[in-house]
Amino acid sequence: MTAENGLRSSVGWNALSLGGRQGVRVVTSIVLAGMIGRSNFGIAGLAAVYVGFAAVFAGFGLDLVLVQRNDLRAEHVGAATRLAAFTGSLIALGTVLLAPFIAGIFRTPELVDVLRFVAIAVVVRSAAVVPMGLLMRRQDFASIAKAEIVGTVLGAGVGLLSALVERSYWAVVLQLVATEALILLGLLFAERGFRWNTTPAATKAVWTFGVKLLGANIASFAAMNSDNVIVGRQLGPAALGEYGIAYRVVSFPQQIVGQVVARTVIPVFSRLQDDPGAVADLFYRSGRAIGIAVIGPLTIVALSAETLVGCILGEEWLPAVPAVQWLCVTAMIRLSFGNGGHVLISIGRASTNLAWTWLTTIVGICGFLVGVRWGTAGVAASSVVIGIPGSLAGLAVVAREIPITPFGVVSRLSRAAAGALAVLATWYGLARVGAGHVLIQVVAGALVYVAVVWTSSDVREDILTFVGRREVT
């Protein structure tokens, strides 16, 4: 399959898979949050953050090792399988032993039993890394979509049934573990099991590249989740519950677009890695398409946040509104400028990606520590303050490897920015003339945004290219 065909065939399945999965997760999270309350939801949120962090170590980028490597052989797959099994089991054991210590850090004794139980999810997630990587390499996103959607829906059912029996954090925890296990079963069915045979040379090669990705993945995870940790540690479970639901609301568009892009472009960039000009062209085109896809919708989410949170969750959750709004802006920045790391990994510059990711993560954590003085809104706002200059600097790093310029990337977002300004004008204009019902504003804002961006022939061409309706040239 060519890079062009791979791009055309991948976007739809990835959008279906991740859109369906995130949609089910967001809806289920909102329902469960209303059923179990802020504190219980915050405790479950800490468990989810821990599982994600532990899984980073367990998988240490092995899926991307399998995707990026040009000369992948059976012994490389066997090496990745053994390494994932070893690290997953080791980290799960450490979780069981260190659960009291971790719970003490967060002053939440309920976490002891929860962490020991979710150690199962760590093992399961590590086992899923290799089959996921192989399916991504083959661009068999249909099988991934089926496994993820079915597993997420059934896992949501487990969580909702558990909440009906007992309205506690265990409902979310059971949902988490069940979902991971069911997705693994689907991936193994598509990949037909594991491969174990390997050689010392293959193990060394996989380990060497994987360790670099591990470092970058740890930094990326810290950048994405250290705000949750700081909120939980400094402000308590109730505040974390507020921040967690804000993050879940914003993560719906963020995860859909971000993960669709990552899964789609990394295999394609990897196939184009010997042609920097082609990588740069696709980088520009995908960047504009991503900006169009996220800037307008997230603007509408931010504007309607108070109504959405108040109507769906009730007045108890209204303190989460400012965090939702700031996180919408953060998501715009991360998604519009976040493709650079995918390029660096795809062209084999794992060391450069590692160094840059750690630098931005350390700066970001410092910002969270300052912002927490102003509560959850301050933490969310710090991501915006630091994210804008950091993203521009990141583009300069990527420009050393492929022929792009930061100005070229930013200029391709001008139409999306104009559309967002049109949404703002429409929203407040309707309110001023007495037509400020949120449904009217949302529909009108969406129509205005589409009208503004679709009048550009360049935008139409890039969007159609990225979603596979035009040839990649």
- Please state, in angstroms and rounded to a whole number, the distance separating the CA atoms of residues 22 and 33: 16
CA-CA-CA-CA torsion for 98, 101, 102, 107, nearest 10 degrees?
160
Write down the pLDDT at residue 472.
Answer: 45
Write down the pLDDT at residue 196.
Answer: 78
Write down the pLDDT at residue 326.
Answer: 93
Write down the pLDDT at residue 444.
Answer: 94
* SS3 call for 70: coil
Write down the pLDDT at residue 471.
Answer: 45
Q: What are the respective helix, strand and coil percentages of the chain, to the nearest 5?
A: 85, 0, 15
Q: From residue 354, how far is each of 67, 255, 393, 407 by CA, in Å? A: 18, 22, 15, 24
What does pTM read for this prediction?
Answer: 0.65
Query: Which regions of the chain are under pLDDT 70?
Result: 1-19, 58-61, 193, 214-215, 217, 221, 251-263, 460-473
CA contacts within 13 A on the Cβ side of 391: 20
* SS3 call for 242: helix
CB atoms within 10 A of CB 314: 10
Rounded to a whole number of angstroms, the CA Rg of the chain reads: 22
- Cβ atoms of 27 and 180 within 8 Å: the answer is no
Query: Six-digit token pair at 10?
Result: 């991948």
Write down the pLDDT at residue 435.
Answer: 81
Q: From residue 270, how far is each of 7, 147, 221 by CA, in Å? A: 12, 25, 23
pLDDT tens, position by position, 225-261: 788 778 878 887 778 777 877 777 776 666 666 666 6
- Please state, in angstroms and rounded to a whole number, the distance separating the CA atoms of residues 336 and 290: 6
